Structure 1
Amino acid sequence: MAHTLFIVGIGPGNPDYVVPRGLDLIRNATVLVGSERALEDFREPRQITYPVTGKLSILAEQIECELQNHDVVVMVSGDTGYYSLLPYLKKKFPSYPIEVIPGISSMTFAFARLGEVWHDANLMSFHGRQPAPEQLVYVEGKKMGFLTDPEFNPARIASILIEIGWPPETRAAALERLSYDDEKIVDSTLEVLTDLEGFGHSVMVVLG
């Protein structure tokens, strides 16, 4: 019988926000895969662990080897269906059973922290990519949520939006380390965020 590849969304990262099914799979896994931070937070002493690095081809080989003898649990940050490893793993392991356990996306968590709904928001990513220019055009009342990276951090994104016509006084927030004790939230305006340092791996919300 083929072993199963489990893809588990760990939400914003704090174990308190992982769904019970996912947490049970993580704690009882023989082989556990995830970012170094996730492994530090979730690993058990007896587990075989593999960190997710930039060398995904090597990781795929390691997972392939382990699937010969064990189920493998792969932790992904946020939700499994939102900019996660799921598409890559489905492509790499088409002959193995795959079970997906969703989590809370960082975007969901960010809007919740701000007390705002997000069903009418445009969700995009500046993390390793750039949205199409037409997606960023100013419209009164428009909501946007961005994943950021060190190159396109909230300060740079805020500057870009102001340059293309967004009012500087537009409400905007940067949220980092969500759900952790050292969580940081700056809820202000685009103009203020242009001077914000850091927040490279964060969520930015714009409420036009």
Structure 2
Amino acid sequence: MESEGLNQERAALPSHRIVVAGIGPGNPHYMVPAARAAIEEARVLVGGRRALAQFARPAGSGQETMAVTRDIAGVMAFIKSRLVTSDVVVMVSGDPGYYSLLDALRRCFPPACLEVIPGISAMQLAFARLALPWHEATLLSFHGRRPQDAQLAYRPGRILGLLTDAHYTSHTIPAILLAAGWPADTGLYICARLSYEDEAVTATTLGEAASLPEVASSVLVVVAPEPQESTSPEA
């Protein structure tokens, strides 16, 4: 019975693969070679309009393209129809494993038919720009969502990496953290347009952020002061 179920599962797999290629933070220099090769060789290429304009082959080259829109069901139906005859390459910004279309693909297709090529995320690049290790950082997203209050709780020495959007910005997020008890002198790094020629990394504090120009759709790195060592009075 177990063998029969396994055979049925294999029979249900598409005959072709979906290659999910992370294209990095934006600048082509930050795309890994494996992703670039998959995109250049793709017969069917799916991605955001900006990514298609940047990386798709010219019209008439034999590469079919599909732009990702809010109609995710329509995008999934397109991919399914093309898998009958060809592999499909899906471009996602940053790294596929970090807030990307990979979640939707896993809901619609067996993981066994997915090949994922990692990419450099804007979050990774932000920490790299600061020469700051991120293995102990808490990574959260304000992009189209708001983390739970418990996830934003203050603790001395805590480091946050935050994705932002047009609503949750370099003004609104510091206000949220200050209201949650973070000290005003907490370090804040506003990392905007990472990898592009006009990239800007601004060092400030949570308390001073409101006095600076508002920045949206960026990465914020928040570094709480380390706890001060208590000194014992001399005997």
**TM-score range with shorter-chain normalisation?**
over 0.9
Is 1:41 the counterpart of 2:51 in the alignment? no
Is 1:181 the counterpart of 2:197 in the alignment? yes
Offset at 1:95? 8.2
Please, what TM-score do these two structures have when normalized by structure 2?
0.83
**Are the equivalent residues in 2 in contact too, given 1:31–1:66 (CA < 8 A)?**
yes
The answer for the alignment partner of 2:123 in structure 1 is 107
- In structure 2, C-alpha distance between the alignment counterparts of 1:124 and 1:95, rounded to whole Å: 25
CA deviation digits over 1:121-171, x for unaligned, max 9? 011111111111112111111100011111111210011111221112211
Distance 1:165 1:17, change over 3 A: same
- In structure 2, C-alpha distance between the alignment counterparts of 1:95 and 1:168, rounded to whole Å: 45
The one-letter amino acid of 1:165's match is: G
Distance 1:6 1:187, change over 3 A: same
CA deviation digits over 1:52-75, x for unaligned, max 9? 111101111111222222211101
RMSD (CA atoms): 1.6
- Residue number among 77, 80, 94 corresponding to 1:61 in the alignment: 77
- In structure 2, C-alpha distance between the alignment counterparts of 1:198 and 1:30, rounded to whole Å: 42
Listed as ranges, the matches of 1:21-170 within 5 Å are 21-45=34-58, 46=61, 47-94=63-110, 97-170=113-186
The one-letter amino acid of 1:54's match is: R
- In structure 1, C-alpha distance between the alignment counterparts of 2:51 and 2:203, rounded to whole Å: 27
CA deviation digits over 1:10-60, x for unaligned, max 9? 111211111111110011111111111211221111222111111101111
The one-letter amino acid of 2:21's match is: V
Q: What SS class does the counterpart of residue 207 from structure 2 fall into?
A: helix
Offset at 1:196? 4.2
Q: What SS class does the counterpart of residue 194 from structure 1 fall into?
A: helix
Identity of aligned residues (%): 47
**Runs of 4+ that moved beyond 6 A:** none
Aligned residues: 208
**Are the equivalent residues in 2 in contact too, given 1:2–1:96 (CA < 8 A)?**
no
- In structure 1, C-alpha distance between the alignment counterparts of 2:88 and 2:156, rounded to whole Å: 47
Q: Structure 2, unaligned stretches of length 5 or more?
A: 1-13, 225-235
- In structure 1, C-alpha distance between the alignment counterparts of 2:214 and 2:72, rounded to whole Å: 27
Q: What SS class does the counterpart of residue 50 from structure 1 fall into?
A: strand
- Residue number among 202, 209, 216 corresponding to 1:200 in the alignment: 216
The one-letter amino acid of 2:33's match is: P
Q: Structure 1, unaligned stretches of length 5 or more?
A: none
Please, what TM-score do these two structures have when normalized by structure 1?
0.94
